[in-house]
């Protein structure tokens, strides 16, 4: 392995649908890719069939390789993409932290907040403690030695990537080097174009909140909302998310970009998103308030807490959170949101 190859190799952590789809796009564009999965059968299947069982539509041509050995991943690639579920991010960050050093660059592609953990003053507490909601990059920084972290987000569906359809994403980091390297290594036009941003907080929040608003749109569609009011809902969602983001230290414009509006439009366009489906079920009265929580639902409740602490009014998110916590009925919430929107703008 030459050093030049290491600089030009993309390491992907996780062989789920997104990680596999991204690997497929990059490998087809001639980029050297190495996937780390903990599942031996998945690694063997990739090596043997050039397909991943979790996304069989995606072809994984050579020189793509798969491994169960994280040390090999870290030694052969300096640029890594963390593509695991939000529930897995803490453990994977710690595992990865064992094998990487301060020179590695790690961007995550998790469009949600990290699964919450109960902790007090840095120590894990088993039960009864207040849950701490963190952005994924915060969890990464707590678990890894490198400070060079970033986020990759946007309306790129695994199916589109696998089929080579036109997709775009945005990478954000405080480090210019992270953005530049991500753009150099992940750009694979025409299938994938990667834009750059310095707004790490904004892209992470926009991506997570778009999940929350996807629930709201599922709910609205389930209640039979027509096209005009639906458009109002979308624009109000972007506006209030922008206000929250700006107060949290992000750039307002980020929420109207790929990670915010872009994500929302794609997630709420079909019936495959768990967040959207949760909204539909809520409208149908199928799901009780405490059941069926998705990442978007959790982002809604966390977002309301954040908005409260920053003194930002967020009628759409607050209405959704009220439904999710069983405080109001869906129709009542829709009425409240509509009324508030009408007087605010």
Partner 1 sequence: MTGLMTDARPVREAENRLEKFNNDRERLLAEVERRVMARRISEARTGGDASLEYVLNDVAYCEIRRLEAAGGNGVDRWRELSRRLLGMTDDDKREELRALVRYYGKDVVGNFDPRVYKFATGIGPSLLGFLFSPTASLRDAGTTLRNLDAHIHADGNLELARACAERGTIVVTPTHSSNMDSPVIGLGLLLAHLPPTTYGAGKNLFTNPFISFFMRNLGAYRVDRRLKFELYKDVLKEYSTVLLEHGYHSLFFPGGTRSRSNMVEKSLKLGLLGTTVTAYKNSVREGAPNKRIYIVPATINYRLVLEAETLIDDYLAETGKSRYIITDDEFSRVGRIVEFFRKILVHEGSVVVRFGRPLDVFGNDITDEGESIDRAGRIVDPASYVRGADGEVTDDDQRDAEYTRALGRRLSAAYPALTVLHSTHLVARALYDAIAANAGTRDIYRLIRAPLGHLEVPIDTVIEHLVRLRARLAENPSWGAEHPLYTDQSATQKVEDAVKGLSTYHTHPIVDRSGQSTLQVKDVKLLYYYQNRTAHIPPESSEQRS
Asked if 7 is part of the footprint of partner 1 (rule: CB under 8 A), the reply reads: yes
Q: Which residues contact 184 (CB under 8 A, 6 or more apart)?
A: none
Among the listed ranges 32-40, 94-102, 217-225, 303-311, the one in contact with partner 1 (CB under 8 A) is 94-102
Per-residue x/- mask for partner 1, residues 70 to 89, rule CB under 8 A? --------xx----------
Please list every residue from 174 through 203 that binds partner 1, using CB under 8 A. Answer: 174-177
Give 294: exposed, middle or buried? Use CB within 10 Å, 0-12, 13-18, 19+: buried
141 touching partner 1, by CB under 8 A: yes
Number of residues that bind partner 1 (CB under 8 A): 24
Smaller CB separation from partner 1, 54 or 135: 135
Q: Shortest approach of partner 1 to residue 78 CB, angstroms?
A: 4
In this complex, which beta carbon is closest to partner 1, that of residue 96 or of residue 300? 96
Whichever of 1 and 131 has its CB closer to partner 1, that residue is 1
Secondary structure (DSSP) of 269-330: SSS--HHHHHHHHHHHT-S-TTSS--HHHHHHHHHHHHHHHHT---HHHHHHHHHHTTSS-H
Decide: is 305 part of the binding site for partner 1 (CB under 8 A).
no
**Which residue, 7 or 286, is less far from partner 1 as judged by CB?**
7
Q: How far is the CB of 15 from partner 1 (least distance, A)?
A: 24
Among 30, 102, 228, 291, binds partner 1 (CB under 8 A): 102
Q: Contact region for partner 1 (CB under 8 A) — 4-12, 49-57, 161-169, 297-305?
A: 4-12
Supply φ then ψ for residue 82, to 5 degrees. -90, 110
Cis, peptide link before residue 63, omega less than 30° from 0: yes
Q: In sequence order, which residues have a C-beta less than 8 Å from that of residue 218 and are 6 or more positions away?
A: 268, 273, 275, 276, 277, 278, 279, 280, 282, 283
- d(CA 244, CA 226) in angstroms, rounded, equals 27
Part of the chain binding partner 1 (CB under 8 A), chosen from 2-10, 246-254, 284-292, 329-337? 2-10
Query: Cβ(214)–Cβ(296) under 8 Å?
Result: yes
Radius of gyration of the chain (CA): 20
Which tokens in the block code for residue 136?
Answer: 């994924």
Binding site for partner 1 (CB under 8 A): 3-4, 6-7, 78-79, 94, 97-98, 101-103, 141-148, 174-177
């Amino acid at each position: 392995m030459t050093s030049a190859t290491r600089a030009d190799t993309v390491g992907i952590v996780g062989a789920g649908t997104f990680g596999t789809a991204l690997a497929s796009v990059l490998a087809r564009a001639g980029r050297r890719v190495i996937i780390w999965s903990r599942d031996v059968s998945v690694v063997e299947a990739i090596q043997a069939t050039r397909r991943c069982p979790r996304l069989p539509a995606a072809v994984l041509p050579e020189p793509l390789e798969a491994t169960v050995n994280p040390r090999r991943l870290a030694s052969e690639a300096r640029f890594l993409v963390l593509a695991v579920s939000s529930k897995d991010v803490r453990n994977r960050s710690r595992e990865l932290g064992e094998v990487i050093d301060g020179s590695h660059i790690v961007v995550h592609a998790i469009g949600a907040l990290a699964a919450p953990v109960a902790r007090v003053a840095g120590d894990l507490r088993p039960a009864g403690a207040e849950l701490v909601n963190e952005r994924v990059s915060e969890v990464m920084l707590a678990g890894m030695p490198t400070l060079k972290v970033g986020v990759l987000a946007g309306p790129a569906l695994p199916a589109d990537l696998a089929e080579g359809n036109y997709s775009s994403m945005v990478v954000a980091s405080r480090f210019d080097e992270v953005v530049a390297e991500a753009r150099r290594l992940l750009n694979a036009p025409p299938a994938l174009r990667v834009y750059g941003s310095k707004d790490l907080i904004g892209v992470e929040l926009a991506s997570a909140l778009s999940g929350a608003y996807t629930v709201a749109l599922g709910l609205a569609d389930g209640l039979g909302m027509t096209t005009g009011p639906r458009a109002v809902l979308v624009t109000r969602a972007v506006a209030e998310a922008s206000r929250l983001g700006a107060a949290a230290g992000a750039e307002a414009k980020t929420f109207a970009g790929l990670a915010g509006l872009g994500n929302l439009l794609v997630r709420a366009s079909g019936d495959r998103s768990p967040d959207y489906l949760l909204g539909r079920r809520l409208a149908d009265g199928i799901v009780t308030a405490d059941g069926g929580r998705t990442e978007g639902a959790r982002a809604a409740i966390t977002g309301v807490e954040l908005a409260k602490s920053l003194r930002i009014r967020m009628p759409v998110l607050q209405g959704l959170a009220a439904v999710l916590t069983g405080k109001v009925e869906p129709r009542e919430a829709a009425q409240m949101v509509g009324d508030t929107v009408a007087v605010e703008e």
